[in-house]
Structure 1
Amino acid sequence: MADVQDHIQSLSEDYQKLQQDLQSIVESRQKLEGQKQENVGVQKELDTLGDEETIYKLVGPVLLKQDKVEAESTVKGRLDFITAEISRQENQIKETQEKIEKKKTEIIQTQAAAQGETPGQGTQPAQ
């Protein structure tokens, strides 16, 4: 019986670790969504600017002139990267959720098997 308890405890710890991993991935994805929205806003601003407008980029404490084409390229590159990362993390979320469900099922099955083996808890045959 102690082996079963240890096994259930181990499964429970694995389950909690998977839930923590899922929470971490979801938080990371939310940060990426925020970054994506910021970059979409920058892209919209760049779209409204004329070709003759001056664009400055903040590098540390200094503002440097930047070409519009270069700025648009940088923002597009960031958006592509962020979109790919969001997609990758969505896949991780899906995989982790599947692992959580499998672990949950395994815990339930182990508990049910343990209860079935417990003496005195089954039905007694009629005499």
Structure 2
Amino acid sequence: LVADIAKNHQVRKKYTIQLGENELVLKELELLKEEANVYKLIGPVLVKQDLAEANANVRKRIEYISAELKRLDATVQDLEEKQNSKREAVCALPILLNFVMLLFSSAKC
């Protein structure tokens, strides 16, 4: 569980960085005039792209990343709840063991 939680935190960090970058790109695109030239890097080639299309693509990426962050948050919360449940079970073992030993010692008398 600990490894899964750590992995999810790493993925969340990556998505958070990507979200920030995409929000910055969106702000930059909003500053441009309609007739401005916008280019998209596809492999080693810059391809001209319509400003409205670029805006829409960035907004879709932001939506996707935000949804992934929510999903990761839910997953991490679920994993942390499982971890806490197991921790409580492990902490209860010595108490249970003492109780069983007490029962056996009183049964011998």
**TM-score, structure 2 length as denominator?**
0.88
**SS of corresponding position for 1:65:** strand
Which of the residues 55, 63, 72 maps onto 2:38? 55
* Aligned pairs, number: 103
Q: Per residue, is there more helix in 1 or in 2?
A: 2
Report SS of the residue matched to 2:6. Answer: helix
Residue segments in structure 2 that go unaligned for 5+ positions in a row: none
Match of 1:102 in 2: 85
User: d(CA) in 1 for partners of 2:50 and 2:94?
Assistant: 65
> Which residue of the other structure, out of 18, 24, 28, is the alignment partner of 1:45?
28
Return the structure number with greater relative CO, CA threshold 8 A, min gap 6. Answer: 1
Moved over 6 A (4+): none
Q: CA deviation at 1:118?
A: 4.7
- Give the distance between the partners of 2:94 and 2:86, measured in 1 at CA: 12
* Deviation for aligned residue 1:114: 2.3
RMSD: 1.5
Q: CA deviation at 1:19?
A: 1.1
Q: TM-score, normalised by structure 1?
A: 0.76
Note the residue ranges of structure 1 that are not aligned, 5 or more in a row.
1-17, 123-127
**The one of 42, 59, 65 aligned to 1:76:** 59
Matching of residues 1-127 of structure 1 within 5 Å:
18-118=1-101
CA positional deviation for 1:95: 0.9
Pairwise CA distance, 1:94: 1.0
